[in-house]
Amino acid sequence: MGVDPFLSASAVRCIVAQRLVRKICPECKEQIDPQSHEMLPFLNLSKSEIDTLTVFQGKGCTHCNNTGYKGRCGLYEVLPITQAIQDLIITKAPPFSIQSKALEEGMLTLRMVGMQKLMAGETSISEVVGATS
């Protein structure tokens, strides 16, 4: 017994996925060479993206209890149910088709939002990989 796709597609207005990542401590934040980080390959970046990437990490201090992190911030993937997405749901399209359409319409995935936070110096490579794998 399942739910009719029309009923769920017409009732749902938005779908949100969220993850929390730790923020780098502002007191001990330092720039690092991204190529020295063991988790870098998991980001699947091109050589040119790696060359232009500036990343930070906290080295640990009394302010952050020697963790290198102080506080948290959210990563949010928001999928508004537009008419095009609703039509795909009703026709029982495969998930990759729905995701492709959502990306075409401007949705950002958790990984994309995590990369924005990474490039802004708010969080670390490890946090982005851990929260979006």
Per residue in 85-119, pLDDT (tens digit) is 999 998 999 999 999 999 999 999 999 999 999 99
Q: Distance between CA 97 and CA 20 in Å, rounded?
A: 27
The DSSP symbol for 27 reads T
50 CA to centre of own chain? 18
What global pTM score does this model have?
Answer: 0.85
Domains contained in the chain, number: 1
DSSP 8-class letter at 30: E
Predicted confidence (pLDDT) per residue in 34-72, tens digit: 888 888 888 888 888 888 889 999 999 999 999 999 999
Full domain range(s) for residue 42: 5-132
CB atoms within 10 A of CB 102: 22
**In angstroms, rounded to a whole number, what is the distance separating the alpha carbons of residues 3 and 129?**
34
H/E stretch holding 4: none
DSSP β-bridge partners for residue 21: 73
Which CATH number covers residue 19? 3.40.50.300
Spatial CA neighbour of 108 closest among 75, 67, 66 = 75
